Structure 1
């Protein structure tokens, strides 16, 4: 004998109600997790992309404490103004008034154009500290640390002596 439609629907509804409780919890957990990840991304990563030209958009790579300490060691006892390249929106101003420069740029952004600008505009007593990605065309004066925390120092006076005049 076959069950009528009411009995079948009652059994289906009972089965679905047990499954829905677990599905609802799982859906709530996944939805909350998704919202949390998006929230963190929106707060910490997205603002860095807002004003940067599309061709220069790179991921946020924070400096470690060890890397900052290495930079400070290489800047010890130095006087003069400091500019940090890699913390802005990609625009470069005149660098002639700075004696100390820190550079934390992705390898694709450290170009010969930037090297030429630094060499041509910085005074002879200037020092450039490069984090994580060294200038490949310049000989480093000294370095501090190792691995991802390594930083390199380039003294402009040494660079100008060792490399030919910029074109």
Structure 2
């Protein structure tokens, strides 16, 4: 069974310095933290804050393309959790055909925000999430990864209007 959820917010894991998107059940108390990448966190944050760029970002480009060819995003499902990795499916329709495509949850969530599509999480994923190994190390420990982390942490919504894309 799937529970309807919304993006409640973004935070940073104090141990790994990785961004986390927090999903919250619409009519309940369940929450689900999903560790995501820095660029995906920026894509989600900019949409949550209503920040518009002068040029389309990747998820905006994807949405624009789907609209142009008549594809409608129906919903997003976070459907599995294996080895500390979440899996998602984007459900869409085109010319009366219902289809799905595999996606990273962070990308699926960024697209769902732009398409105003509902988000669902399976009960099994919520159950498995309580068993996540929180001692797992951040994958990108490089200087470049640390630099991106510093940039994301230092972003202020007002900064987005300052730079031309």
TM-score with structure 1 setting the length: 0.23
**More contact order relative to length (CA 8 Å, sep ≥ 6):** 2
Higher-helix-fraction structure: 1
Task: State which structure, 1 or 2, has the greater radius of gyration over its C-alpha atoms.
Answer: 1
